[in-house]
Every structure is written in structure tokens, then in C-alpha cells.
């Protein structure tokens, strides 16, 4: 009988049949609680516990998500970022570019290059934003590396390129950026710029979740439902191996190359 992966806990079965002895003489456990996604049963024959998937849990999540989306739309949370009126409002409220900041950025100050890049990003001037962010990323600025991945992911100031985005997110992930770690998990899950891999998806989501990313924790649990015990063991081992190459202090990387945009 097919089983899903709940490492270190009671076995999960697909039906109300004991996966240990095959008996159908089972009852809900009085001592062991189930959860949102499973219910714990006890076999009267072999006295062992097992869990059965509770698909209503997914319905609760879906209903909650739908309610949140409806509320968000009504409150304007999900307004189109390219809307003309919104774009004008953002551009008008963005800070002016300081001549001093510009001079420092042109001299190679990575922090100032990133600051200028984000200011242009806020003004929706993505081409100038991309140039300055890439300059800072090439000098090893951690936040710029992540933001450059976002530029490639969404095609802001450059052509959309999932492979380039994945490469930059991997750089940022190794500097312990949990957002980059989460996005790597999603890209491996969906095959965006990389082959689809449940193992790699779970591994990066696992790392992001360990760094406090709650969305990654939810996605990790969703991955666990569709993975076998062997896949879970392998993916968890990959998480441990990847953790050894992750910086915990956010130090900048060595610059890949020096690039300073011309006068914007």
C-alpha cells in the first residue's frame, strides 16, 4: 500500500486499512492527535497507530486563501503595478537623486550604487535601476545580488531570464537571504530555469523555513505530502549539505567584475 512521508512519526496510509497488518478493524486514536492534513487511527488487531490523509484540510486553506484574495481585491491590495495612475504616483513620491550619491556611486561605492538602483526602481525607471543594481551586485553587495535576481525574474530593465535569475538567487541564498532560498525552492518545484526537482525544491524550502520564512514552511509541508520517504530523506540530507556552504554573517562576496554605469 502506498505511504507518504512523515519521517519519525506514525505511518500515513491512503485508506482506513492498517498499513502494518492489513486489518480493517481500526478506530480513531484517543491519545494521538491528528492534524489539519491527517487523522490518527489505531489498529485493534496489531495495536499500532497510523495516519490517514484528511483532504478537508486543503479545503480550509483554499477557502481561506480565496477569502483573503477577495478581501485584498476589494481593498486594493493587488492593484496592477503597471497601472498608469499608480506608476505616476510612485514616480512622484520617489526621492530625488542626490548629486553626491551619484558621484559616490560612480566612484564605485557598492552601497551607493544599490541605493541609486532602488531609487530608480521606485521611480519605475527600470533600465537605470538595472544598471546600478548590477554594478553593485558585481561588486558583491548581498542585497543587490538578490534584487538583480528579481530583475531577471520579472524582466525589469532587462529581458526576462529564469536561468540568470536562478543563478543570482543561488548567490544570494548562500549569503543566507531567506527570500532567495524560498524562490529557489519554487523555481526547482516549477522548473523555472532549472529541471523540475522535488528534492531540490524541498531542500531550499526547508532552509528558507529554518530561517523564519513562513511561506516557505507552508510550501515545504505541501511538498512533503507528495514525496516518498526515500525522497524526503534524500532532500533533508541535501538541506544539511547546502547549509554548510551558507554564510551566516551576510558578508559580501568577491566581486565578479567591476562595472560602473555611465552617467544615467
- For the chain, give the DSSP string: --EE--TTS-EEESSSS-TTT----EEE-SSS---SSEEEEEETTT--EEEEE-THHHHHHHHHHHHHHHHHHHHTTT--TT-HHHHHHHHHHSPPPPHHHHHHHHTT-HHHHHHHHHHHHHTT-HHHHHHHHHHHHHTT-HHHHHHHHHHHHHTSSS---HHHHHHHHHHHHHTT-HHHHHHHHHHHHHTSSS---HHHHHHHHHHHHHTT-HHHHHHHHHHHHTS-HHHHHHHHHHHHHHHTT--SS-PPPPPS--------
User: What's the pLDDT at 24?
Assistant: 80
pTM, entire model: 0.61
Is there a contact between 152 and 137 (Cβ–Cβ < 8 Å)?
no
User: What's the pLDDT at 170?
Assistant: 95
Give the chain's domains with CATH numbers: 1-78 (no CATH), 86-243 (1.25.40.10)
Is there a contact between 215 and 184 (Cβ–Cβ < 8 Å)?
no
User: What's the pLDDT at 53?
Assistant: 61
Query: What does pLDDT average to in each consecutive run of 10 residues of the chain (264 residues)?
Result: 37 57 76 58 76 58 59 47 58 75 92 94 94 96 97 96 97 95 97 95 96 95 94 94 75 45 43
User: What's the pLDDT at 13?
Assistant: 40
Is there a contact between 40 and 50 (Cβ–Cβ < 8 Å)?
yes
Amino acid at each position: 500500500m502506498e505511504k507518504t512521508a512523515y519521517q519519525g512519526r506514525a505511518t500515513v496510509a491512503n485508506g482506513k486499512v492498517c498499513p502494518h497488518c492489513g486489518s480493517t478493524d481500526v478506530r480513531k486514536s484517543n491519545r494521538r492527535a491528528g492534524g489539519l492534513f491527517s487523522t490518527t487511527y489505531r489498529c485493534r488487531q496489531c495495536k499500532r497507530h497510523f495516519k490517514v490523509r484528511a483532504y478537508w484540510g486543503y479545503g480550509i486553506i483554499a477557502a481561506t486563501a480565496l477569502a483573503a484574495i477577495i478581501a485584498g481585491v476589494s481593498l486594493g491590495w493587488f492593484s496592477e503595478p503597471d497601472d498608469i495612475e499608480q506608476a505616476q504616483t510612485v514616480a512622484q513620491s520617489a526621492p530625488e537623486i542626490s548629486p553626491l550619491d551619484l558621484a559616490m556611486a560612480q566612484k564605485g561605492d557598492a552601497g551607493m550604487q544599490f541605493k541609486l538602483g532602488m531609487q530608480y526602481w521606485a521611480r519605475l525607471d527600470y533600465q537605470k535601476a538595472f544598471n546600478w543594481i548590477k554594478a553593485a551586485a558585481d561588486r558583491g553587495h548581498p542585497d543587490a545580488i538578490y534584487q538583480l535576481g528579481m530583475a531577471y525574474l520579472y524582466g525589469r530593465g532587462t529581458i526576462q531570464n529564469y536561468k540568470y535569475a536562478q543563478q543570482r538567487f543561488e548567490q544570494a541564498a548562500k549569503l543566507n537571504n531567506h527570500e532567495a532560498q524560498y524562490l529557489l525552492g519554487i523555481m526547482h518545484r516549477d522548473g523555472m530555469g532549472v529541471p523540475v526537482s522535488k528534492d531540490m525544491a524541498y531542500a531550499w524550502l526547508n532552509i528558507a523555513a529554518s530561517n523564519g520564512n513562513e511561506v516557505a514552511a507552508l510550501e515545504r509541508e505541501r511538498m512533503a505530502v507528495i514525496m516518498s520517504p526515500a525522497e524526503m530523506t534524500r532532500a533533508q540530507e541535501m538541506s544539511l549539505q547546502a547549509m554548510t556552504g551558507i554564510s551566516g554573517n551576510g558578508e559580501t562576496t568577491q566581486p565578479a567584475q567591476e562595472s560602473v554605469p555611465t552617467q544615467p
